[in-house]
């Protein structure tokens, strides 16, 4: 499936979403962000999809906002565009399926923030991350003001935001931004192996843990204990739980169906 600025392919129960503007290092625009929202809405209706990967074509994940286009936009146009970006981020966080960012090359600005909106980031050792907004007199959008301080702490987030300096994949890993870092030639294989684990895993439980882990960031202990208490009975009633128990008793690997 091809959308403006995006390629979407489903293979072995995994949806691969590729930013496809390699001539501008996958700079983001309204077509791309609307395409993300629409694609994730379709995925939400497809019970067979057990994982999503977001990646970039060509030399980079994404260079962030399209600087060439910025010279022609008005404040009202930016308001509407950030609204589109917000809808894409919310669709990512509401999808009860794990989303992995496969990052190589530059991961900059709003592209960086879309990676932060994913559930895991797997990066090539040569990748570069940068909160570049300050260089053009903007604040971070696309959820960056929310995600970054929660990942790295307020003071470190301010340093990255105020200065806009690039950081290496190694530094991003040390800060807890990147989950896994591998040599660039091994990046695709690493992500494929990770997605195979999601496909074989209990998709219903993994999806609920994704949603609850995000909910915990803005909830009290009492609220989360209650959510756990009300959610766990639903998990016990699931086919995946029954299969997991049978597999354990029969001393064999479970065959989860995501139900």
pLDDT in tens, 45-64: 998 999 999 999 999 999 99
SS3 258: coil
- Judgement on whether residues 140 and 214 belong to the same structural domain of the protein: no
- Judgement on whether residues 186 and 140 belong to the same structural domain of the protein: yes
- Judgement on whether residues 122 and 236 belong to the same structural domain of the protein: no
111 located within any domain: yes
Contact 227, 212 (CB under 8 A): yes
SS3 180: strand
**Would you tell me how many other CB atoms lie within 10 Å of the CB of residue 227?**
16
- Sequence-ordered list of residues with C-beta below 8 angstroms from that of 219, at least 6 positions apart, any chain: 227
User: What is the domain count for the chain?
Assistant: 2
Q: Which residues pair with 114 in a beta bridge?
A: none
- Judgement on whether residues 19 and 76 belong to the same structural domain of the protein: yes
- Judgement on whether residues 175 and 238 belong to the same structural domain of the protein: no
- Judgement on whether residues 134 and 29 belong to the same structural domain of the protein: yes
212 located within any domain: yes
136 located within any domain: yes
- Judgement on whether residues 213 and 181 belong to the same structural domain of the protein: no
258 located within any domain: no
255 located within any domain: no
SS3 197: helix
- Judgement on whether residues 10 and 41 belong to the same structural domain of the protein: yes
Per residue in 133-144, pLDDT (tens digit) is 999 999 999 999
Spatial separation of the C-alpha atoms in residues 234 and 59, rounded to whole Å: 44
- Judgement on whether residues 10 and 138 belong to the same structural domain of the protein: yes
- Judgement on whether residues 32 and 147 belong to the same structural domain of the protein: yes
Spatial separation of the C-alpha atoms in residues 83 and 222, rounded to whole Å: 33
pLDDT of residue 142: 95
Per residue in 60-98, pLDDT (tens digit) is 999 998 777 777 888 898 899 999 999 999 999 999 999
31 located within any domain: yes
pLDDT of residue 71: 72
19 located within any domain: yes
List the domain range (segments joined by +) for residue 73.
Answer: 2-199
- Which token pair is 109? 């600005």
SS3 16: strand
- Judgement on whether residues 31 and 106 belong to the same structural domain of the protein: yes
Task: Specify the pTM.
Answer: 0.95
Q: Which CATH number do you get for residue 131?
A: 3.90.226.10
Positive or negative, the CA dihedral 112, 113, 115, 120 is: positive
Instruction: Tell me the HSE value of 21 on the side-chain side, using a 13 A CA sphere.
Output: 19
- Judgement on whether residues 206 and 176 belong to the same structural domain of the protein: no
Reply yes or no on whether the pLDDT at 212 is more than 90.
yes
């Amino acid at each position: 499936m091809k959308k403006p600025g995006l390629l979407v392919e489903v293979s072995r129960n995994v949806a691969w979403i590729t930013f496809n503007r390699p001539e501008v290092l996958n700079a983001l625009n309204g077509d791309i962000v609307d395409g993300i929202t629409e694609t994730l809405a379709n995925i939400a209706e497809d019970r067979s999809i057990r994982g999503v990967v977001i990646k970039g074509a060509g030399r980079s994940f994404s260079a962030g906002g399209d600087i060439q286009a910025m010279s022609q936009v008005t404040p009202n146009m930016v308001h509407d565009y950030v609204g589109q970006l917000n809808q894409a981020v919310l669709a990512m966080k509401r999808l009860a399926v794990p989303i992995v960012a496969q990052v190589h090359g530059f991961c900059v600005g709003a592209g960086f923030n879309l990676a932060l909106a994913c559930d895991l980031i797997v990066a090539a050792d040569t990748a570069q991350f940068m909160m570049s907004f300050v260089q053009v007199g903007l604040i971070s959008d696309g959820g960056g003001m929310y995600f970054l301080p929660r990942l790295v702490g307020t003071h470190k987030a301010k340093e990255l935001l105020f200065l806009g300096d690039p950081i290496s994949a190694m530094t991003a890993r040390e800060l807890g931004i990147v989950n896994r870092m591998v040599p660039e030639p091994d990046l695709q294989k690493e992500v494929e192996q990770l997605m195979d684990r999601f496909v074989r895993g209990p998709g219903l439980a993994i999806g609920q843990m994704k949603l609850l882990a995000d909910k915990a960031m803005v909830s009290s202990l009492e609220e989360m204990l209650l959510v756990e208490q009300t959610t766990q009975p639903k998990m016990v009633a699931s086919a995946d739980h029954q299969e997991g128990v049978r597999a354990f008793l029969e001393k064999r690997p479970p065959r989860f169906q995501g139900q």
